[in-house]
Amino acid sequence: MAIASGITPRRDLDFGFSTDMPRHWAQGDAFKSRLLDAFSLQVPIGERLAMRSVQAFASGITDATLADAVRAFMAQEGQHSLQHRQFNDGLAAQGVAVHRLARWGQRQADGVFGLLPRHWCLALMAGVEHLNAVFGRALLRNSLDFSGEDSRALALHVWHGAEEWEHRAVCFEVLRTQTRTRRLTRVAMYAVAALLFPSQLTLTQIYLLRVDGLSWWGIAGLFKRHWRWLWGRDGFFRQQMRAQRAYLRGDFHPSQQADDATFRRWEQAMAEHGDPLRALSELHTV
Ligand SMILES: [Fe+2]
Ligand SMILES: [Fe+2]
């Protein structure tokens, strides 16, 4: 299966970030807010690794559609990094060790990526991209679950999630066409990503809750109270499992997973006015 074009880089978006962002912006819910804040802290490092992994094979791409898709992918990931850095500055103002965490994460990532062959790095990032795309689509579908009085952070995550969904096939397609990576390696690297991504997210979330002054017991209670929301029937993570598992199939390609109505609605709103805050509020208008 080839890649479809239609990836739109959206630049100069204005989310109105400031250094006095509310801590628990998602319905006043510390667990949900800090879950997505933890994601945001990982974005600049993740985007850099994704761009670096794809860039390593970009010069060999001769297919014009894929070359265009790679350029759009780079532009989108660059913007994600930029906007999340601005948002993360607000977290720094709350006492979060944003820069220390970034330096530490970067050192770990550089160490691992320095050891692995280039096509393994790309396979790892193709796995991360699949995790991100399915996570992004779940965010779009469930954005009301995170909706509070201040919608700036949520608009950022919905925009990012939608674009992850939009460019979901790029990394995979570069891996498929520019390397001879076997299914076993692709699946093994995905398994590594699927272990690292949630554990890193959870550890960072716990750290953020500690910054908020919660005790270990308080944090354990929060996880207990949100267990059903995450893993119960149609829970936020549980509903992603089927699409995640599809990656293990030998004939899998991200383009097989169809867009859904929420994504199309968001995409259309952005094409009409280019305002991510308004696009989010339109998703919530029946
Ligand atoms: Fe991204
Ligand atoms: Fe991405």
User: What are 83's two structure tokens?
Assistant: 């906007």
Give CA–CA dist 246/133, Å, rounded: 13
d(CA 173, ligand 2 centre) in Å: 13
User: What are 89's two structure tokens?
Assistant: 């500055």
**Residue 118: predicted pLDDT:** 94
Residue pair 158/143 in contact (Cβ under 8 Å)? The answer is yes
- Tell me which ligand sits closest to the C-alpha of residue 159: 1
Give CA–CA dist 171/122, Å, rounded: 7
- Tell me which ligand sits closest to the C-alpha of residue 126: 2
For ion ligand 1, residues whose CB falls within 5 Å: 77, 80
Own/partner pairs, 57-64, CB within 8 angstroms, 24+ separation:
57/118, 57/122, 57/174, 57/178, 57/179, 58/174, 60/178, 61/174, 61/177, 61/178, 63/2, 63/177
d(CA 169, ligand 2 centre) in Å: 9
d(CA 133, ligand 1 centre) in Å: 9
Residues of the chain with pLDDT under 50: none
**Residue 2: predicted pLDDT:** 62
pLDDT digits (tens, 9 = 90+) for 153-207: 999 999 999 999 999 999 999 999 999 999 999 999 999 999 998 999 999 999 9
d(CA 77, ligand 2 centre) in Å: 6
d(CA 216, ligand 1 centre) in Å: 32
Give CA–CA dist 167/145, Å, rounded: 24
**Residue 5: predicted pLDDT:** 64
CA dihedral 256, 257, 258, 262 (to 10 degrees): -170
d(CA 219, ligand 2 centre) in Å: 30
d(CA 9, ligand 2 centre) in Å: 12
Residue pair 31/172 in contact (Cβ under 8 Å)? The answer is no
d(CA 74, ligand 2 centre) in Å: 9
Residue 239 is classified by DSSP as G
Place of tokens 């970009």: 58
**Residue 3: predicted pLDDT:** 66
d(CA 136, ligand 2 centre) in Å: 10
d(CA 6, ligand 2 centre) in Å: 15
d(CA 145, ligand 2 centre) in Å: 23
**Residue 1: predicted pLDDT:** 56
